[in-house]
Amino acid sequence: MQPPRLTSAYVIDDHPLFCDALSLTLRAVASITVIATHERLESALAQLASGGAPDVIILDLHLPDVSGLDGLIRLRKAAAEVPIVVVSSMNDPRIIGAAMRAGAAGFVPKHSHREVFRAAFEAIGRGQSFIPEGVEIPAAAAQPVTGREEALRRLSLLTRQQGNILQLICEGKLNKQIAFDLGIAETTVKAHVTAIMRKLGVQSRTQAVLIAQEASYSSVLQDGL
């Protein structure tokens, strides 16, 4: 039985020229004709929440409102079974491996030739995962659990709203400011903050921020240094 063909996509990247070029590539190599572009993660999350899930999502790891694997985790939770392909200028094998373990279905470096994109989306269309040829990623089961991977596990326990609040905490905002930004009561924010700290296993907002920072791709590189 042939898998369903990919016909729609989100492209989440804050570089308009790259979005245009990638949209053309998707049409040429994968016959994807319905493409929505988003410069920020929150915009894509809002469209997902409205019921507009695409067949595939293409995500850059560095966006104006989020940086690192925590953005991928939030998108993975919101996107249910939609495959997410990370397309990034960061192509270190440690980053690729971490992205795959965090829920990406594939990883394509931004500088890749068109045929690499073709191979990637053919694999994703068959329900398979994709990493660039020649990239060696040890099996996750054979690797020790790092602080970053434990941070990823804890962050995956948060709901979408809790993830939003943690992002605002990371930006240095107080409960009153978070309540205003999200249009909710300050008491509701306090309840969410309590739940966030419980799920992350921390005692303070500062410790929660450190957990979020541990999940960023910069710490992936530091693990191997």
50-76 confidence digits (pLDDT tens):
887 899 999 998 888 876 677 888 888
**Whole-angstrom distance, CA of residue 83 vs CA of residue 45:** 15
Give the H/E segment covering residue 88: strand 84-88
- Do 121 and 73 lie in one domain? The reply is yes
CATH number of the domain within which 157 lies: 1.10.10.10
- Do 117 and 156 lie in one domain? The reply is no
The pLDDT tens digits for 2-59 are 556 789 999 999 998 999 999 999 999 999 999 999 999 989 999 998 887 899 999 9
- Do 115 and 191 lie in one domain? The reply is no
pLDDT at 220 over 60: no
- Do 108 and 167 lie in one domain? The reply is no
Q: Give the mean model confidence (pLDDT) for residues 165-194.
A: 92
- The tally of domains found in the chain comes to 2
Q: What is the pTM of this model?
A: 0.69
Q: How far is CA 122 from the centre of its chain?
A: 21
The pLDDT tens digits for 79-91 are 888 999 999 887 7
**Whole-angstrom distance, CA of residue 79 vs CA of residue 77:** 6
- Do 121 and 27 lie in one domain? The reply is yes
Under the banding of pLDDT at 50, 70 and 90, the label for residue 195 is: very high
Give the H/E segment covering residue 108: strand 106-109
Query: What pLDDT does residue 216 have?
Result: 65
- Per the structure, the complete domain to which residue 35 belongs is given by 8-125
